[in-house]
């Protein structure tokens, strides 16, 4: 699996940014700045609408009926997945009313301990309705033990 899925691009996902979701997320992460809750306060600070808190983009990127389906299609058992790391690059703000398109791809797949532990590295670009890149984020997922179907790893070499 290591080399055959590196470069795999998943179908794009589009999601709408809604005010209530931004307010709910901001409250959940303990944000208190009014630019994340109040339209007037956000506009007074030069924003076009309520601003999305920085890591909200990750939550929005899994706004689909089954965010694990793409992994199942690769032969990965989601019950054996563990989110290990997340890195963000910010380019432009995300606001209430935006429509964000997410395009994700696998950029690396590493096997350790004779395949007992696998690391899938996925990179996602988030672009708004105007074609402006807002965010790029990279997540590392650990796949434990037999987290891959036998057919996904059959005949593949592993690094130690």
Determine, yes or no, domain membership for 64. Answer: yes
Residue 110 domain boundaries? 13-17+53-153
More confident residue, 2 or 89: 89
Q: What is the CA radius of gyration of the chain?
A: 18
How many other CB atoms sit within 10 Å of the CB of residue 116? 14
Q: What is the pLDDT of residues 17-38, one digit of tens each?
A: 999 999 999 999 999 999 999 9
Taking residues 58-81, what's their average pLDDT?
90
Determine, yes or no, domain membership for 31. Answer: no
Determine, yes or no, domain membership for 106. Answer: yes
pLDDT band per the 50, 70, 90 thresholds, residue 156: very low
Residue 157: pLDDT over 80: no
Q: Report the pLDDT value the prediction gives residue 151, as an integer from 0 to 100.
A: 41
Number of separate domains in the chain: 1
CATH number of the CATH domain containing 110 = 3.10.129.10
Determine, yes or no, domain membership for 27. Answer: no
Determine, yes or no, domain membership for 116. Answer: yes
* CA neighbours closer than 13 Å in the CB half-sphere of residue 76: 22
């Amino acid at each position: 699996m290591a080399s055959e899925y590196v470069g795999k691009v998943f179908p794009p996902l589009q999601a709408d940014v809604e005010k209530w979701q931004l307010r709910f997320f901001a409250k959940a992460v303990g944000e208190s700045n009014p630019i994340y809750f109040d339209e007037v306060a956000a506009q007074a600070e030069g924003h076009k609408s309520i601003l999305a808190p920085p890591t909200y983009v990750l939550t929005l990127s899994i706004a689909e009926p089954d965010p694990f389906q793409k992994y199942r299609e690769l032969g990965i058992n989601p019950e054996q997945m563990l989110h290990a790391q997340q890195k963000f690059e910010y380019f432009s703000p995300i606001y209430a009313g935006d429509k964000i398109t997410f395009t994700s791809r696998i950029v690396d797949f590493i096997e350790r301990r004779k395949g007992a532990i696998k690391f899938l590295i996925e990179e996602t670009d988030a672009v708004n309705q105007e074609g402006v890149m807002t965010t790029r984020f990279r997540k590392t997922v650990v796949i434990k033990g037999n987290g891959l179907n036998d057919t996904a790893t059959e005949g593949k070499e592993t690094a130690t």
